[in-house]
Amino acid sequence: MSTSSENHPRTRKVNVAGFNLINSPRLNKGTAFTNRERDLFSLHGLLPPHVGTLEEQVDRRMRAFDDQRTAFHQYAFLRDLQDLNETLFYALLVRNIEKLLPIVYTPTVGEGCMRFSEIWRKPRGVFLSYPNKDRMRQILSHPRYDKVRCIVVSDGERILGLGDQGAGGMGIPIGKMALYTALGGIPPEQCLPVLLDVGTDNEERLANPIYMGWRHARIRGLEYDDFVDAFVQCVKERWPHVLLQWEDFAGANASRLLARYRHQLCTFNDDIQGTAAIAAATLISAIHITGVPLTEQRIVLFGFGSAGLGIANLLVRLMQQKGCTPEKAQERIHAIDVDGLLVEGRANIKDEQKMYARTAESVKGWKQENGAIRIEEVIRQVRPTALIGVSGQAGAFTEEVVRTMAQHVERPIIFPLSNPTSRSEAHPHDLLTWTDGRALVGTGSPFEPMTLRGKTLQVAQTNNSYIFPGLALGIISAKARHVTEDMILAATTELILHLPTCSDSNACLLPPISEARTIARHIGEAVGRQALREGQAQVADEAELLRALDENHWEPAYEEYERE
C-alpha cells in the first residue's frame, strides 16, 4: 500500500457496508466517513452527523487517553482503540510516540500480559493452542491472512523478566507488531501476531477463573518440539517468503529454535539479535564520550543466557572489525550467569558459551562463594569499564558493585537492560548518585531524566525498537531468503551513524525515540543492501529495493472508499 495523505487520499475498493464496515478495525474511519461514503455504504444513522477529520479524532482520543487513571488503564484504552480503528490508533501512536511507547511497549505491556484476560475484547492475531494442533493449517488458511508478510510469535514462557504468562503472552506479539507499523511503517494487514498456547506452569494464571488460555501444564520435550515444528511447516507452506520473528521464548528454547530454523526460512530472534544490536550501538555511543576504544574495553556481562551471549558475539564481531583477533576480543568480555563467572571446567557451561570461559589459572586466588565467583569479586578483579545486565535480577547492581567500579573508571558505562522496570538491575538515579553523576547509563525500560546537583542527566532507553522495525522493513523489502548475522551487523552499524554522540559528547547516548521512524527507513536500506551483497535478496537490484521500501512504508491516513 502506498503512502497517502488527507489532502491527496488514495481510493480503495471496499466490499462491506453498514455495521460490518464500522466494525472492521482496518477499514473503520468513525466520524471521518464523508457524507458521500455514508451514502454509498449505508452509514447514515449509525454515526453522529458530524463529519470529522483524522486530526480531530487524534486530539479527541489523546484527551481521553490522558483521562485514564493508570498506565495499565491507558494500555487497555489503546488496545481497545486498536481493535476499533487501526488508522486512528497508528496516527495517535506516530504523533505521540515518546509519550505512548512506554504504554504500548515496555514497561506497561508487561502488566498488560499479566492481566491480558481482564481486558480481552476482540480477536487480534492468532491463538494456536495445543488442543488445536491438527487444525493449524485450517486456521492459518483463512483469506484474511493472505497479505501477511511478517509474523511475531511467542509461546508466552519468558515474558520480559516476568516469566511464564501463558496465553497472556500474546500481548508481546501484538505490541511488537504495533511497532513494526508505527516505527517501521509496515502496513498493518501485513503483520500477524501469533501465540503458541502450549499451556502454562504459572499457578496464579491456572487458578484464575477468568484466565483465557489452555488450562494445562506447559507441554515440553518432544511434544513441544513437534508442535513448534508443525507451526513452522504450516508457515512455510502458507507464506513461502514471510519473515518470522521469535519473541520471549525461554532462553534454552530461544537459542535452540533459532539455530534449528534460521536456514529453513527467513527468521530472527529479537531477544537475542535485536538486544545485541541495540546494546552494542549504545556501548559505541558511550565510547564516543569516554574515548576508550572498543578493543580496550573491559566488559562484564551479567546474565549470560541467549541475550547475553548474543551481545557478546556481536561485540566480538565489532572488535574484529577494529583489528582484534576473535580470541583477543573474547578476552575483553567477562561473562557471569546464575552460577557465577564462567570458568573452564565449571559445570553447566554450554558449548556456545565455552569460548568466553576464563582459564582456571587466570582466576587463581579470586574469592569464591560455594565454588562460584560472584559479581562483586569480578568487579574488584576486572575493574570493568562497562557493566551490562540482562539477568532479570532486580537490584543486582548494588551500591557496593557500582562504587567499586567507579573507583577505577572515570566514566563507568552501566546498562541495566532487564525489563520491565521492576526487573531492572538498578535504578538509574542510584547509579548516578553512587558515581557522582559520572556514569553513562542505558536502561531497558524508560526512566525520566534525573537532576543531580542542579544538573539534568539524561537516561538513554536502550530499546530494541530502534532496531527491529527497520530490520524487518529491510528484510521484507529485499525479500530476503534468510536473516544473516551480517544483516544484524548492518542494522547496528547504520544506527551507530545516527548516534547524537557522533557530533556532541554531551548528548544523550541515543537519538530521541521520535526519530526512530526515520532511522528505521535508513536501517531498512542498509539491511536490504546487505541482503543484496550476500545474495540473499530476491529483488533484482538496489533500485528495486528502494521502490519496495517506498511501497512498504505506510502512513496512517484515511483513504477514500468506493463500493466494490
Choosing from 463, 478, 511, the residue where a domain stops is 463
Tell whether 148 and 231 lie within a shared domain: yes
Tell whether 213 and 349 lie within a shared domain: no
pLDDT range class, residue 3, cuts 50, 70, 90 = very low
Please indicate, yes or no, if residue 321 is contained in any of the structural domains: yes
Tell whether 430 and 511 lie within a shared domain: no
Angstrom distance (rounded) from CA 305 to CA 69: 37
Question: Exactly one of 29, 75, 90, 176 is catalytic; which is it?
Answer: 176
Tell whether 295 and 224 lie within a shared domain: no
Residue 36, all three cell numbers: 458521500
By residue range, what is the domain housing residue 105?
Answer: 53-264
Q: Consult the annotation and say whether 158 binds a ligand.
A: yes
Choosing from 224, 242, 264, the residue where a domain stops is 264
Q: Consult the annotation and say whether 248 binds a ligand.
A: yes
Residue 237, all three cell numbers: 507452506
Please tell me the total count of domains within the chain. Answer: 3
pLDDT at 130: 98
Please indicate, yes or no, if residue 451 is contained in any of the structural domains: yes
Q: Consult the annotation and say whether 271 binds a ligand.
A: yes
Tell whether 400 and 488 lie within a shared domain: no
pLDDT at 347: 87
For residue 487, pLDDT beyond 60: yes
Q: Consult the annotation and say whether 247 binds a ligand.
A: yes
Choosing from 410, 433, 463, the residue where a domain stops is 463
Tell whether 369 and 473 lie within a shared domain: no
For residue 21, pLDDT beyond 60: yes
Tell whether 247 and 294 lie within a shared domain: no
Q: How many residues does the chain have?
A: 564
Tell whether 293 and 223 lie within a shared domain: no
Tell me: the pLDDT tens digits for 463-485? 999 999 999 999 999 999 999 99
pLDDT at 9: 60
Please indicate, yes or no, if residue 3 is contained in any of the structural domains: no
Question: Exactly one of 75, 90, 105, 561 is catalytic; which is it?
Answer: 105
Tell me: the pLDDT tens digits for 405-439? 999 999 999 999 998 888 999 999 999 999 999 99
pLDDT at 450: 81
Please indicate, yes or no, if residue 542 is contained in any of the structural domains: no
Please indicate, yes or no, if residue 547 is contained in any of the structural domains: no
The DSSP element (H or E) to which 333 belongs, if any, is strand 333-337
Can you list the pairs that 21-28 forms with residues at least 24 positions away whose Cβ atoms lie under 8 Å? 22/46, 22/47, 25/82, 25/83, 25/84, 25/85, 25/86, 25/122, 26/86, 26/188, 26/189, 27/561, 28/84, 28/85, 28/86, 28/87
Give catalytic status of residue 261 as yes or no. no
- For the domain that residue 252 is a member of, what is the CATH number? 3.40.50.10380
Tell whether 396 and 522 lie within a shared domain: no
Angstrom distance (rounded) from CA 475 to CA 37: 37
Please indicate, yes or no, if residue 373 is contained in any of the structural domains: yes
Give catalytic status of residue 13 as yes or no. no
Q: Is the pTM of this model over 0.95?
A: no
Please indicate, yes or no, if residue 309 is contained in any of the structural domains: yes
Tell me: the pLDDT tens digits for 69-85? 999 999 999 999 999 99
